[in-house]
């Protein structure tokens, strides 16, 4: 490859990180995903917004269109992994994404009076928070490599990846797995000019955290989380913990022996309102969203 072409490609890789043109965001119908969609929305940007709840997705889409973006709505349930991968493949074939943000996720805790989460609950958490995004990131990585134009993949994890959570072992495991996957993928994709970032927020004021009946230190607004996540993606951070107070706490935790961390966390208790309780988000079951085929609406 000629020197000038190499320089142009590097210029291209560097520039689209700060202003990607075609972006897919999963979990764009609410919370952090909706804030990311709104923050990335502008003229000459195509946003593919994925979620299960069509009404919420439509609301976010219209806000993004008002800011000048071209918006594609994709209603899909990530728990249906095969259908999700088919939808991703079809969408990427059409839009050739510069940036894909795997943000969708569910949080859950063990039921009151139970010592562990139900087995089905653990399977569901791992399917939505880890299996779907990891398989999806592999698919997108393969396609970006084949195009040879670089790209960026971001995965929204959690500080729950770093601490034992007796009331939410499935959630903690899904996020720890996501971190391990994203860091390995990062190492694998470097030579292809594809940046992989995994971003671990502390508490963010969204419907997910509203379900948690607990004190939420250093909680930030979804807009603040979105702008920190965008900065991490633009600077190709491999792993970031936001806000900085949680980064400092996770750094200190590295020096705490595992036995002590487990003992301390066993003293900590937290429970979540069931999905659909007053004022809380409805859990959308596989029967509510069309899990047999992706519904895509391009406007
Ligand atoms: N909020 C926090 O304190 C916090 C802290 C650390 C990490 N996080 C992570 O940040 C991410 C976003 O969470 P959030 O706080 O913004 O939560 P949220 O407001 O509840 O939004 C979750 C999003 O994920 C989508 N989603 C959930 N299950 C899905 C499925 N099976 N298929 C497709 N989409 C699905 C939802 O779509 P529908 O609306 O259509 O159901 C929604 O758009 C999650 O990965 C979460 O683990 C959040």
Residue 115 reports pLDDT greater than 90: no
For the record, the structure tokens of 253 come out as 């935790």
Q: Which residues pair with 204 in a beta bridge?
A: 220
- How many whole angstroms from 30 Cα to the centroid of ligand 1? 7
Residue by residue, DSSP assigns the chain as --HHHHHHHHHHHHHHHHS-SEEEEETTTSHHHHHHHHHH--TT-EEEEEES-HHHHHHHHHHHHHTT-EEEEEE--TTSHHHHHHHHHHHHHHH--SEEEE-------PPTT-SS--HHHHHHHHIIIIIHHHHHHHHHHHHHHHHTS-EEEEEE--GGGGS--TT-HHHHHHHHHHHHHHHHHHHHHGGGTEEEEEEEE--B-SHHHHTEES--TT-B-HHHHHHHHHHHHHTT-SEEEESHHHHHHHHHHTTS-HHHHHHHHHT---EEPPTTSTTSPPPPPTTTTT-SS-EEEE-
- How many whole angstroms from 47 Cα to the centroid of ligand 1? 18
Close Cβ partners of 206 (under 8 Å, ≥ 6 residues apart): 30, 31, 32, 222
- How many whole angstroms from 69 Cα to the centroid of ligand 1? 22
Q: Whose CA is nearest to atom 34 of ligand 1?
A: 51
Q: Domains (ranges, CATH) in the chain?
A: 3-297 (3.40.50.720)
Q: Which residue has the higher pLDDT, 6 or 232?
A: 232
**Taking residues 104-132, what's their average pLDDT?**
90
171 given a catalytic annotation: yes
Query: Would you place residue 273 in the very low, low, confident or very high pLDDT band (cuts 50, 70, 90)?
Result: low
Residue 248 reports pLDDT greater than 90: yes
pLDDT at 111: 79
Alpha-carbon span 50 to 105, nearest angstrom:
12
Per the prediction, the chain carries an average pLDDT of 87
Q: Active-site residue among 12, 40, 171, 275? A: 171
Closest ligand 1 atom to residue 219 Cα is 3
Query: Would you place residue 114 in the very low, low, confident or very high pLDDT band (cuts 50, 70, 90)?
Result: confident
Query: Would you place residue 283 in the very low, low, confident or very high pLDDT band (cuts 50, 70, 90)?
Result: very low
- How many whole angstroms from 236 Cα to the centroid of ligand 1? 23
Residue 219 reports pLDDT greater than 60: yes
Residue 57 reports pLDDT greater than 70: yes
Q: Which residue has the higher pLDDT, 115 or 187?
A: 187
User: Is there a contact between 174 and 123 (Cβ–Cβ < 8 Å)?
Assistant: no
pLDDT at 61: 98
- Ligand 1 pocket (Cβ < 6 Å) reads 27-33, 51-53, 56, 77-79, 103-107, 128, 156, 158, 201, 203-204, 206-209, 281, 284
pLDDT at 19: 85
Q: Is the pTM of this model over 0.95?
A: no
Residue 150 reports pLDDT greater than 50: yes
Residue 91 reports pLDDT greater than 90: yes
Q: Whose CA is nearest to atom 19 of ligand 1?
A: 31
**Strand pairing of 70-75 and 151-156?**
unpaired
User: Is there a contact between 286 and 75 (Cβ–Cβ < 8 Å)?
Assistant: no
**Taking residues 54-81, what's their average pLDDT?**
97
Percent of the chain past pLDDT 70, that is, above it, reads 84
Query: Would you place residue 215 in the very low, low, confident or very high pLDDT band (cuts 50, 70, 90)?
Result: confident
Task: Using most ligand atoms within 8 A of CB, pick from 24, 27, 155, 202 the residue to mutate for ligand 1.
Answer: 27
Q: Which residue has the higher pLDDT, 178 or 5?
A: 178
Residue 297 reports pLDDT greater than 60: no
């Amino acid at each position: 490859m000629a020197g000038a072409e190499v320089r142009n490609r590097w210029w291209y890789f560097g520039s689209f990180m700060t202003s990607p043109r075609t972006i897919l965001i999963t979990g764009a119908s609410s919370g952090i995903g909706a804030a990311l969609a709104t923050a990335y929305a502008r003229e000459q940007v195509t946003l593919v917004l994925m979620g299960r709840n069509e009404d919420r997705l439509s609301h976010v889409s219209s806000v993004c269109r008002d800011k000048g973006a071209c918006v594609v709505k994709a209603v899909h349930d990530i728990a249906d992994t095969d259908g999700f991968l088919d939808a991703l493949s079809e969408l990427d074939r059409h839009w050739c994404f510069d940036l894909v943000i795997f943000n969708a996720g569910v949080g859950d805790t063990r039921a009151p009076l139970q010592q562990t989460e139900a087995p089905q609950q653990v399977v569901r958490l791992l399917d939505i928070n880890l299996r779907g995004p990891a398989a999806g990131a592999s698919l997108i990585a393969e396609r970006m490599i084949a195009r040879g134009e670089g790209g960026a993949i971001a995965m929204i994890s959690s500080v729950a990846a770093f601490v034992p959570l007796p009331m939410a072992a499935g959630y903690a495991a899904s996020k720890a797995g996501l971190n391990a996957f994203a860091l390995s993928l990062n190492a694998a994709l470097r030579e292809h000019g594809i940046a992989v970032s995994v971003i671990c927020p502390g508490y963010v004021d969204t419907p997910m955290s509203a379900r948690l009946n607990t004190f939420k230190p250093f909680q930030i607004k979804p807009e603040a989380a979105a702008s920190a996540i965008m900065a991490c993606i633009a600077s190709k951070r491999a792993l970031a913990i936001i806000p900085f107070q949680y980064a400092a706490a996770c750094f200190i935790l590295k020096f705490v022996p595992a036995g002590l961390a487990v003992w301390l966390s066993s003293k900590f208790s937290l429970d979540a309102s069931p999905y659909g309780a007053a004022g809380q988000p409805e859990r959308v079951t596989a029967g509510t969203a069309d899990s047999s085929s992706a519904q895509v609406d391009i406007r």
